[in-house]
Structure 1
Amino acid sequence: MARNDLIYDLCLWFFNIILDVFFREIRPRGAHRIPFEGPVIFVVAPHANQFVDPMIVMRECRRRVSFLIAEKSMHQKGIGFFARLVGAIPVIRPQDLAKSGTGTIQLLNIKSDPLRITGLGTKFLSQLHPQDSITLPKGVGMAEVTKVISDTELLIKKEFKDLKAIEALTSDEGCLYKCTPHIEQDSVYKAVHETLYQGNCITIFPEGGSHDRAEMLPLKAGVTIMALGAMAAHPDLNVKIVPCGLNYFHPHRFRSRAVIEFGSPISIPPEYVTKFKAGGTEKREACGKLLDSIYNALKSVTVGASDYETLMLLQAARRLYKPAHRKLHISQVVDLNRRFAIGYDKFKNEPKVLELLQKVLAYNQLLKYHGLRDHQVNKTALGGPRAFGLLLYRVAVLTVWGLLAFPGGILNLPIGIVARVISAKKAKEALKASTVKIAGRDVLATWKLLVGLAFIPALYAVYTLVMFVLVLRTNWPLKWKLLTPVFTWNLLPFISYASLRFGENGMDVYRSLRPLFLSIVDPASVENLRAVRDHLSHDITNLINEYGPQVFPDFDAERISAAPATSRPTTPTPAASAAMKLAGGFFTSKVDWLDDKIFNWGQVGDSETDDIFFFVDKQGSVSGRASSRGSASEADEERGARFGTGTSRSRSRSRTSSFGTGLSGEGFKVEAMTELPRDRAFAEVTTRSKDGTLGKREAGKEDDGYAGDREDHGESKKDI
């Protein structure tokens, strides 16, 4: 079915609402690399969130795209309906048509005849044909059938080499198997080629299906056949392949965070197209080389780890390395995680690395014992009467948020229960039908959204009907009897969303109580925990500074240095003074003022120059900015200092520093692995306008820390 752009845009608007409700934050990175026109293939990995992944790509890619979707999904009522509206291209996957084979199979002569499969009670002649495949349980092996000799004997193309597969096939009782038919995809390739020829975009998940593994699955070669085939069929076509990495923080959880990163477009060399046209081994060589390029490009925009435990360990080490005086955006967190994974893979057998990993594991156990998260450790330094006063204040704020969230929570409680039950059931079904999933978590978010879309209108209709029945029993005028249900129907979504935000803020406040409580009842224990963290952070930083240059040529531990403590503040101009008052919270709420000024929570451990960073380039010139507090953080680090306001706002302290002789002092080094541009500190650069006031130039919607990696920076940054 041809796609209607207006309907596509309406669907995208609807998907945006869904994503804004389900996720707390979605941050794009590198979207400026996407070509604004011409045929583009978006290759997306890892496919960790089933039908939520396509919606995020649609939202952030800035182009209208056609998705390749499993043909069986087109038969699901909700999914199929929206897929047809946005012009998705259905693909019949062989694994979706696989059927259990009759009897069991064996490999009798593994050394002399490893390609001959013998059946026990099998019906090969009716269930299998040449080019079909036999698949072993739990994904331990698959083989293409070359010849069916009889009902109990066939030949395969390549021998099984996996030890688990050989063990199963050589057992006395034989091995169960599935018959997977061979599917010709000519119609799919034709539809893709036509879409690309018209200058449109295709999105494909080259892993072949969604999964919940920590590492990226092997890529299917179909994307290379689509790209090379389109250019072979249309010689004047120039197809670009854009790698897209999806990085989630708890992908299946409600109100989690995500980062979507777009890599540099891959241009297809003409010689690949020539080899593709030649066919045979040259065609396979061209497809293989292009697939390797795509895989490497995807590795550069995703965080890879051998398993989930390793990923969690690397994230813990990254948090300990993170500059203590700078809060990172979630896209910067993803970049650090990726770099840590690359470095760990290279040096994981080094004695120093192994020793530090054991220390990190021990530190994680200490955190678990205290019931804290890493970002909360430094919050235990307050102590004394101020901590007790702040604890009482936070409890009061939590009570207020709880009361405000209560109505919506009760109204939507049935939906939460039903969504949880159904999504868990679907996860079990998906796990049973898959050979690559670990727990089926990749389908949870999709089914939570589908249940919400189906049950929320139904539940609100019930509430409206109840209200209508109640008002009919009153003596109200007819007009109000009719208008009250209408008001109820329209008011319920606003009540639910407001309660959601109130509850979210309340949970943030609740999580902040634990470090306060420990700082009062067990100050010695948390003081020891802080000392352990500081020592471990120092060791990890030194290790990174030692090994970092061996992995990343752009690594520069001294690129970021804080202002010296001896520097004195200058006397600001009236205009600058007004701007600094505004940045320092001059117009903040009374709740903020009470939280910061009376209890001094937000300033524990701060110095006069903690938030001022200077960036020294190779020529020795200096530029700088005041870092903003309260910027977007990673999912496992909840909003910290100002829970009383219910918002997470970036506010700079009213602090300045001399840029004159003060720089001759010894600065405190803050090491960093992030790839910051040397000619610009951040994309959000503080500049001085013509009238002398301070203003900020934002880089649009993209990540503030990385939008400056464009080749064309536009205006040059002025020194402050």
Structure 2
Amino acid sequence: MSIVRKILYSIIRFFAKIIFTIFYRDHGAFHRENFPKDDGTPILFIAAPHGNFLMDAITIFVACPRNMYFLSAKANFNYPIFGTIITILGCIPVTRPQDAERINGDGLVKVIDEGKKVTGEGLGKVLQVGDTLYVEFERPNDNEMLKEASGTVEEIINDDLVRIKEPGMKWLTKGRRKGKFRRLVEYGNVFIRVERGNTMKTLEGLNFIPKSVTQSVSRSWDRLSSSPGKLPFPINDDQPDEIVVCPQNPEATERTPLLNASESSSYHKTQSSSRPTSTYKPNFPSVPDIPTTYSYIHMPPHSEVYSAVYNHFSKSQCVAIFPEGTSHDNEHMLSLKYGCAVMSLGYLASKEPDAFGKERKLKIVPCGLNFFNRHRFRSRVFVDVGQPIEIEQRLVDLYRSGGEGKRQACQELLKTIQTSLTELTVNAPDYNTLLFFKTASRLYRENLPSELSFSKKLALLRKIAKKYTANTPPTDEARKLKYEVVMYIQKLRSHRLSPPHMSTTPVSLFLYLPLLVILFILTMPGLILFSPIGLIAKYVGKKQGENAMLYDDNSLAITRWPGRDVIATWKMMSGLVLFITFDIIYSIIMVHFIKKCNLYEFHGRKDIFILGFCIFAFFWTVIAYATILLWERLCWVGKRTWVGVWSLFNPRERKSLTSWRNELTIRVCRWVDNGE
């Protein structure tokens, strides 16, 4: 890393820490001693779960004391400002399947053998193993949209036939507009680019094209893939091929039907919490075996990415990767991709020395990301750094042997990484189970004589999660306890109450009501000035979260519901842009006011600029941050005040909930301590 890049890197890191401190109420890194010292050994940082998009990278970037290079999607480098920043940081571009160029195929193809095979003239010569193949159909009575099915090529059987990987060609949930499709029609040395919707009459009207050409084009129109096949049946666009509905919390399920805002709210209200999770598969018709047009995506080779990573390792530098491959909205880690294992073993398997002429070495450092209410502003995040993983020479030799030995070495290393990350994170199969873990941890701590540090709280949370998931399925005692705890939380939420504030009594109102009024008065001026930023950022985050579910307009991103993995990122970016805009406007107004009222004697434009910059960089920044802190405290006091008011008018229900909580506390403590 050059001197200039090091300086820029430090500047970006400084501002990232400021933004990070403002966005998160509490953050930190546990077991920082596990960060290896800079002894010339390259480091591969592996972070999971990747549940908060760009905020995950910022978290590792801020927490790690070493300079590192992230792997980033190649499409991210095209953004004007963000692309410049990640280029300065030296991020390594990775071409994802959705970023690759989609190529329109010439000729017609036919899906056969119940979607397991696709045939077409010269199809095997065009496609490669691993390519994504799309077939396109016109829907009945629809002149605007095309319906598509896709599959991954598993084998090239011959020049005209390919085999599709299981489960075969599957319908995509979204259609594509016909106007986006063009075909190249060829006759001899003449190439004609035809957009769908054009007719032979249109072509014949082009005077510079010989009539013999248009006649030949007419005869070979079907062979040259000019028109998609017509579907004999309609297909619904609104649902994926498999749907899992959890009535207690539909927005947190793995796969959920797409609902608009009104349907979603009514759907949530009408669900009964006592009904079990249900699974069903819509009866979608199979892809028909009629001739139709196609397109495909060539999977880019990973050799360039691996080569760039090896180059950094050879220079004793640090590389960071999220091995799940994509951000997601699950409450647990996804399966890890083989890339991190191939990077590690592939580098060590080379018998060439590193850039300094020394024997190649490498350490893998697992980093567990623990977000609490990850999509919310002023939430919490902690990085737990695990023990560095030393790769056994046995695995390196096994990788060098190639074939099955190479696969086995990657599997063993990947399993070791997965185990390490699991020990550093909290994993739950669904939202209700995670809610049970958190509430049980809080109830258990109420029985302790003193408050735990946050690292010990996190350790207790993992202990409860590990105990619950130790048995598959969980024991009857654990399932009954989970049901009772979740029902208790839902009962509190029905009254807009939360467990942390249930200790408030009506007597406490004598303290909280005056404090609420004072905080409201202090917060109001800053709230008037800066509340539009929060409201707009919240709206942008919500809309981008909805868009993330159908990010490629073709398939339902089943790991993103309701898109909470991108909400925090968009809140941060939009809030930052809006704050800078508001800050500039308010600074100009304030300087103009000072000048007009002669509150300060200016001696030229230099004085105006210096004063304006000080107001911009310090005054409004302090006011905005103070407003955030006051608003945060106002919300806390407001919640406790509400509990006191509610308890004053509902004494019997308050007594019932307190008894229920005490009973659950005893049961949770007994269950957690059982077997110790």
**1:520 aligned to 2:648?**
yes
1:342 equivalent among 441, 458, 466: 466
Paired residues of 2:51 and 2:329 also in contact (CA < 8 A): yes
1:254 is aligned with what amino acid?
F
C-alpha distance in structure 1 between counterparts of 2:10 and 2:372, whole Å: 28
Aligned amino acid, residue 18 of structure 2 = I
Q: Which amino acid in 2 is paired with 1:396?
A: P
Farther-moved stretch of structure 1 (91-100 vs 199-208): 91-100
Are 1:364 and 2:492 counterparts? no
Within the candidate set 72, 77, 92, 2:75 is matched to 72
What's 2:132 paired with?
133
CA gap 1:160/1:342 in 2 versus in 1, 3 angstroms: farther
CA distance in 2, matches of 1:128, 1:440: 34
Tell me which residue corresponds to 1:270. Answer: 393
Deviations 1:505-551 (A, max 9, x none): 111211211232244333332122111111111122222233xx3xx
Instruction: Tell me whether 1:109 sits opposite 2:119 in the alignment.
Output: no
1:377 aligns with 2:380: no
Q: Match for 1:16: what amino acid?
A: K
Question: C-alpha separation between the residues in 1 aligned to 2:478 and 2:662?
Answer: 18
Normalized against structure 1, the TM-score is what?
A: 0.68
Decide which of 485, 504, 514 is 2:632's aligned counterpart: 504
Show the counterpart of 1:220: 337
1:291 Cα shift? 0.9
- Distance in 2 (CA, whole Å) between partners of 1:166 and 1:131 is 28
Contact persistence 1:45–1:205 (CA under 8 A): yes
Q: Which residue of 1 aligns with 2:534?
A: 416
In the TM superposition, what is the alpha-carbon distance from 1:101 to its structure 2 partner? 7.5
In structure 1, give the amino acid aligned to 2:59.
Answer: I
Change (3 A) 1:477 1:59: closer
Partner of 2:323: 206
- Counterpart contact for 1:423–1:447, Cα < 8 Å: yes
Q: Any idea what SS the aligned residue of 1:90 has?
A: strand
State the alpha-carbon separation in 2 of the partners of residues 237 and 463 from structure 1.
56
Query: In 1, Cα distance between the equivalents of 2:446 and 2:512?
Result: 28
| Distance in 1 of aligned mates of 2:135 and 2:423 | 33
Query: Which letter does structure 1 place at the counterpart of 2:25?
Result: R
Point out which structure has higher relative CO (alpha carbons under 8 A, 6+ apart).
2
User: Does the 8 Å contact 2:124/2:156 carry over to 1?
Assistant: no
Which residue of 308, 315, 339 maps to 1:191? 308
CA contact (8 A) 1:98 1:178 kept: no
CA distance in 1, matches of 2:570, 2:311: 33
Aligned residues: 535
Paired residues for 1:31-50 under 5 Å: 31-37=32-38, 38-50=41-53
Shift of 1:372: 1.9
Query: d(CA) in 1 for partners of 2:134 and 2:404?
Result: 26
Cα gap change, 1:127 to 1:306, in 2 (>3 Å): farther
Partner residue of 1:391 out of 473, 487, 509: 509
CA offsets, 1:192-237, max 9 Å, x none?
Answer: 1121122221100011111111121111111111111111224622
Worse-matched range after superposition: 244-253 or 80-89:
80-89
Q: What is the match of residue 51 of structure 1? A: 54
SS in 2 for 1:146: strand
CA distance in 1, matches of 2:525, 2:515: 17
- Residue number in structure 2 paired with 1:437: 560
Residue 474 of structure 1 deviates from its aligned partner by 4.1
- Paired position in structure 1 for 2:153: 144
Q: 1:294 aligns with which of 417, 420, 427?
A: 417
Evaluate the alpha carbon distance shift between residue 169 and residue 272 of structure 1 in structure 2; reply closer, same or farther with a 3 A threshold.
farther
- Residue 466 of structure 1 and its aligned partner are, at CA, apart by 2.5
- Aligned partner (choices 161, 164, 167) of residue 156 of structure 1: 164
Task: Report what 1:17 is aligned to.
Answer: 18
1:47 maps to amino acid: H
Correspondence 1:95 to 2:223: no
For 1:284-340, what per-residue CA distance to the aligned partner results, in whole angstroms no more than 9, with x for missing partners? 111111111111111111111112222112222222223423333333333223222
- Give the secondary structure class of the aligned counterpart of 1:379: coil
In structure 2, do the counterparts of structure 1 residues 106 and 399 end up closer, same or farther at CA, with 3 Å as the change threshold?
farther
AA of the residue aligned to 1:220: K
Measure how far apart 1:492 and its partner are: 1.1
CA pair 244-399 structure 1, distance change in 2 beyond 3 A: same
User: Which amino acid counterpart does residue 346 of structure 1 have in structure 2?
Assistant: A
Tell me the distance in 2 between the aligned counterparts of 1:539 and 1:485.
61
SS in 1 for 2:428: coil
User: Are 1:540 and 2:549 an aligned pair?
Assistant: no
User: Out of 170, 183, 203, which is 2:286 matched to?
Assistant: 170
> How far did residue 124 of structure 1 move?
5.1
The equivalent position to 2:360 in structure 1, one of 237, 262, 276, is 237
Deviation at 1:471, TM superposition (A): 4.6
Query: 2:53 aligns to what SS in structure 1?
Result: coil
Distance 2:308 2:512 in 1: 59
2: CA distance, partners of 1:228 / 1:172: 45
Query: Are residue 492 (structure 1) and residue 615 (structure 2) matched?
Result: no
Unaligned runs of 5+ in 2: 137-147, 171-240, 243-280, 354-358, 552-556
Indicate conservation of the 8 Å contact 1:78/1:450, yes or no.
Answer: no
Match of 1:464 among 577, 587, 590: 587
Cα contact 1:147–1:156 (8 A) shared by 2 = no
For residues 244-298 of structure 1, the C-alpha deviation after alignment (integer angstroms, 9 at most, x for no partner) is: 1111111121111011111111111111111222221211111111111111111
Distance 2:394 2:294 in 1: 41
SS at match of 2:502: helix
Q: What residue in structure 1 maps to residue 189 of structure 2?
A: none
Q: Is the 8 A contact 1:214 1:307 kept in 2?
A: yes
Q: Does structure 2 retain, via aligned residues, the 8 Å contact 1:378–1:530? A: no
Distance 1:460 1:531, change over 3 A: same
- Structure 1 residue 365, shift from structure 2 partner: 3.1
* Secondary structure, aligned partner of 2:673: helix
The match for 1:351 among 470, 476, 483 is 476
- Change over 3 Å in CA distance of 1:418–1:521 after alignment to 2: closer
One-letter amino acid of the structure 2 residue matched with residue 498 of structure 1 = A
Report what 2:253 is aligned to: none
Q: Is 1:249 aligned to 2:372, yes or no? A: yes
- Post-superposition CA distance 1:156-196 (Å, at most 9, x none): 35665998699757355899998442211222212211211
Could you tell me which amino acid in structure 1 is paired with residue 392 of structure 2?
P
1:29 Cα offset (Å): 1.2
What TM-score does the superposition give when structure 2 sets the normalisation length?
A: 0.72
The 3 A distance-change label for structure 1 pair 266 and 106 is farther
- Show structure 1 runs of 5+ residues with no match: 550-555, 557-720
CA contact (8 A) 1:107 1:169 kept: no
Q: Secondary structure at the match of 1:131?
A: coil
CA distance in structure 2 between the aligned counterparts of 1:267 and 1:431, rounded to whole angstroms: 38
Q: Tell me by how many angstroms 1:142 deviates.
A: 5.3
SS in 2 for 1:216: coil
Tell me if the contact between 1:41 and 1:241 (Cα under 8 Å) persists in the aligned partners: yes
**Are the structure 2 counterparts of residues 404 and 104 from structure 1 closer, same or farther at C-alpha, using a change threshold of 3 Å?**
farther
Q: 2 CA distance for matches of 1:286 and 1:141?
A: 32
Q: Is the 8 A contact 1:49 1:445 kept in 2?
A: yes
Please give the alpha-carbon distance, in whole angstroms, between the structure 2 residues aligned to 1:416 and 1:371: 22
Q: How large is the Cα RMSD of the aligned pairs?
A: 3.4
What is the rounded CA distance, in whole Å, between the counterparts of 1:359 and 1:93 in structure 2?
44
Per the alignment, do residues 118 and 302 of structure 1 end up closer, same or farther by CA in structure 2, a change over 3 Å counting? Answer: farther
